[in-house]
Structure 1
Amino acid sequence: MSGLRQGFTTGTAAAAAAKAALLLLLEGRNVPEVDTPLPRSAAVSGDCRPEARLRVPIARGHLEDGGARAVVIKDAGDDPDVTHGAEIHALAHFFPAETPLRVELDGGRGVGRATLPGLAAAVGEAAINPGPREQIESAAREALGDRSGVARVRIEVPEGERLAAKTLNPRLGIVGGISILGSHGIVRPFSHDAWAASVTQALSVARAEGRDMAVFTTGRKSERLYLDLYPDTPERCLVQAADFFGHACRTASEKGFRRIGWSLFFGKLVKQAQGFDNTHARQAEIDFSLLAHWCAEAGAPPELARATAAANTARQVLGLLQSAGEDAALQTLLRALTARAGAEVRRRAPKAEPHFAVFDFNGSVLLATGRD
């Protein structure tokens, strides 16, 4: 991961835009960048520099309807974030009064609204998570200084509704746009903070509906294949967890799920069996020597085990087993892998019972274990 460029979250973009809009409104300064506070959790966790601040460029700003609007271009760095390059707007108004300073925050066009319980935002509220909400208010207060009165800040994302279709928001009951996320304020390449947050939200919604089973899938295809296998699965139980094996299992455990399923392909199963917390290719490599040992234990002939040790991909290993007609060895291997992966699930979610649906790369069922 060395050399990859970090970016900033939608929460940081919104906070910077809010501060810039208020500076323009109150001081007449259209600043090229703002020194922006990051969430307190960023400093506590050590995920960024100790002072927990970031200088964020401002794309443009102008006065509007008695207030001021500022725009930040979301920069996700080298992380594949659907909001990268999106405009994040803040429209700010200020009403002086002889009262303690109050910042009122809401979402406008392109910022989703919660319609289901269990989310960080209450039903009817803008989908601005608590960390970014606090971050935006802190940035606004810095611009306001010692003034008293009411500042009203509205966050908008003009392309938010279109972008939200590429996220899990529709399933989470967040309608009309994206969520404003970011517990740390910065985006580490391939950390996928926004995706991890959406996994947490999806689990919260499912528990609020009284579900006790979470079925994690590695993407749309594995979700569709699971539904083909188990068509009676409630939609809210299905959570696209991607590579976040550890995060998904731990969060499900924290929220009290008693059953945890994984719908996945052979390669991801091997990585889970190896115990990786994140199964992304950049963070987890298959140990083919270990896989060869497991193949031999499952009854594969020595020449096939040797070929496995020299393989480059999990697809290649699966193809070797299938083309050699080693069906018994493959089934024994699959049961051993799901047992090891199940142990890794229980290590992260001790009270949950795991089950697996494993598919080959053409979508055929290789093994389905223990759902009922």
Structure 2
Amino acid sequence: MPDEMTVLKNKKELRCGYTTGSCAAVTAKAALIMLISGEDIFNASIVTPKGPVYNAEILDITRTDDSVSCAVIKDGGDDPDITSGSKVFATVRFLDDQGITIKGGEGVGVITKPGLDQPIGEAAINSVPRKMIRENLEDVLEKYGRTNQGVEVTISVPNGKALAEKTFNPKLGIVGGISILGTTGIVEPMSDAAILDTIRTEVRVKRAEDKKVLLVAPGNYGLTFLKQRYGIDENDAVLCSNFVYDTVQIACDEGFSKMLFVGHIGKLVKVAGKIKNTHSMYGDHRMEILSGIVSEVQEDTGSSDIKEKVLSCVMTDEAVNIINEAGLGDKVFHRMVSKIKEAMEEFSGGKIETETIVFSNEYTELVRTENAQLFLEMTK
């Protein structure tokens, strides 16, 4: 297992990129300069909110009688960002009325649900990118002595509609394209912050939908189980990935008091040991936790060799079989699920009542807490 410094060192060696928000701001700036000056430019730069300067090559310049359009190519660095390589366009025209109007064009999504960064009906251009666009256009207007000039800018991403199908946007209620995002202007490879931002956005949407119980699953296994076993749509659950503790904190922040936590034993048994982040990078300990629970119930069974057999297992499903064959399943798994519930409620400081459903191989329900069925019905 790598230590924390090794993990950070490896992250620092990866190349950062620029957000779609930075792309939108720099191409809008370039388009306005060309609209005012009448001359084409092929490079433009902005200062990102985090500080680094983004120097961009300007492409695909086109003019009409009253507008200029141009593009930059999104560079996400070494982050596995599906928008990398896409062209982000800005089309700028003058308005009679003073002020800057920001619109979404082709491939930029539209908000259809409450709880997101922008109101229903607005283009999915988040507040920080809007601020970046506005401030950079205001700087250009000031430079050219045209501070009273009104400007309309339309941001578009021609392949954005197809890309959006590979994102959380349809689930969040953003239709027709991608979102223009970014709070720092910089894409940091494998950023935990980006994942947590997505989780927070999903939780806010559920809160805005007035959900009484927040349904959480670590990953796609949990979504498949919920759909196959209970007919629950995958869009009804928030994916927390490995960020169990952080998701509980976000749920607290957003005002939830009830949570139903559903997942495979291989992930959830770690939570029984009060592990806050279940990524293997931070430690595995599945068999140690499970064998420890076996030890807790052994006094009643006299099965002294089961702990060692569990410790030698590689996969939790194998351990489940050993425990069941020894006749310990009922006691061990009910103790385990109680510990998961206890850990989740401890993570919340007692603010969230948590019920849990754990499944094992082939999506077979293994165990649940007492009120899990009630919470399940409240999620529908």
Instruction: Rate the CA distance shift 1:126–1:368 in 2: closer, same or farther, 3 A.
Output: same
Partner residue, 2:241: 242
> Aligned AA for 1:129?
N
Partner residue, 2:283: 285
Partner residue, 1:16: 26
Percentage of matched positions with identical amino acids: 30
Equivalent pair of 1:21/1:61 in contact (CA under 8 Å): no
Q: Does 1:130 align with 2:141?
A: no
* Structure 2 Cα separation of the partners of residues 19 and 304 of structure 1: 68
Partner residue, 1:48: none
Equivalent pair of 1:17/1:89 in contact (CA under 8 Å): yes
Instruction: Rate the CA distance shift 1:267–1:5 in 2: closer, same or farther, 3 A.
Output: farther
1:295 Cα deviation after fit? 4.2
Instruction: Rate the CA distance shift 1:213–1:17 in 2: closer, same or farther, 3 A.
Output: same
Q: Does 1:320 align with 2:331?
A: no
* Structure 2 Cα separation of the partners of residues 191 and 16 of structure 1: 23
Instruction: Rate the CA distance shift 1:325–1:246 in 2: closer, same or farther, 3 A.
Output: closer
* Structure 2 Cα separation of the partners of residues 278 and 56 of structure 1: 37
Q: Does 1:174 align with 2:171?
A: no
* Structure 2 Cα separation of the partners of residues 192 and 85 of structure 1: 22
Instruction: Rate the CA distance shift 1:285–1:16 in 2: closer, same or farther, 3 A.
Output: farther
Partner residue, 2:47: 36
Instruction: Rate the CA distance shift 1:227–1:189 in 2: closer, same or farther, 3 A.
Output: same
Instruction: Rate the CA distance shift 1:57–1:240 in 2: closer, same or farther, 3 A.
Output: same
1:95 Cα deviation after fit? 4.6
Equivalent pair of 2:306/2:322 in contact (CA under 8 Å): no
> Aligned AA for 1:37?
T
> Aligned AA for 1:229?
R
> Aligned AA for 2:102?
L
Partner residue, 1:119: 116
**Superposition TM-score, scaled by structure 2 size:** 0.80
Partner residue, 2:209: 209
1:153 Cα deviation after fit? 1.4
* Structure 2 Cα separation of the partners of residues 362 and 84 of structure 1: 36
SS of structure 1 residue aligned to 2:216: strand
* Structure 2 Cα separation of the partners of residues 127 and 267 of structure 1: 37
- Say which is worse superposed, 256-265 or 28-37, in terms of deviation: 28-37
Instruction: Rate the CA distance shift 1:266–1:110 in 2: closer, same or farther, 3 A.
Output: same
1:56 Cα deviation after fit? 4.3
* Structure 1 Cα separation of the partners of residues 151 and 249 of structure 2: 39
Q: What does residue range 1-372 of structure 1 map to in structure 2 within 5 Å?
A: 1=7, 2=10, 3-27=13-37, 28=39, 30-38=41-49, 42=50, 52-58=51-57, 60-65=59-64, 66-95=66-95, 102-146=99-143, 147-148=146-147, 149-191=149-191, 193-231=193-231, 233=232, 237-281=236-280, 283-287=281-285, 290-291=288-289, 292-299=291-298, 304-306=306-308, 308-309=310-311, 313=314, 316-323=315-322, 325-326=324-325, 328-349=327-348, 350-369=350-369, 370-371=371-372, 372=374
> Aligned AA for 1:122?
P
SS of structure 2 residue aligned to 1:178: coil
- Per-residue CA deviation, residues 283-329 of structure 1 (Å, 9 max, x unaligned), is 43213574343443354966554455566x5xx24313414644644
Instruction: Rate the CA distance shift 1:256–1:57 in 2: closer, same or farther, 3 A.
Output: same
SS of structure 2 residue aligned to 1:362: helix
Equivalent pair of 1:346/1:353 in contact (CA under 8 Å): yes
SS of structure 2 residue aligned to 1:223: helix
* Structure 2 Cα separation of the partners of residues 164 and 109 of structure 1: 12
> Aligned AA for 1:287?
H
Partner residue, 1:47: none
SS of structure 1 residue aligned to 2:363: coil
1:228 Cα deviation after fit? 3.1
Task: Give structure 2 stretches of 5+ with no counterpart.
Answer: 1-6, 375-380
- Say which is worse superposed, 161-170 or 342-351, in terms of deviation: 342-351
1:259 Cα deviation after fit? 1.5
> Aligned AA for 2:115?
G
* Structure 1 Cα separation of the partners of residues 156 and 107 of structure 2: 6
SS of structure 2 residue aligned to 1:215: strand
1:234 Cα deviation after fit? 7.1
> Aligned AA for 2:220?
R
* Structure 1 Cα separation of the partners of residues 81 and 53 of structure 2: 19
Structure with max Cα Rg: 2
SS of structure 1 residue aligned to 2:341: helix
1:163 Cα deviation after fit? 1.3
> Aligned AA for 2:215?
V
* Structure 2 Cα separation of the partners of residues 107 and 271 of structure 1: 44
Give the aligned length.
Answer: 352
Equivalent pair of 1:61/1:68 in contact (CA under 8 Å): no
Partner residue, 2:377: none
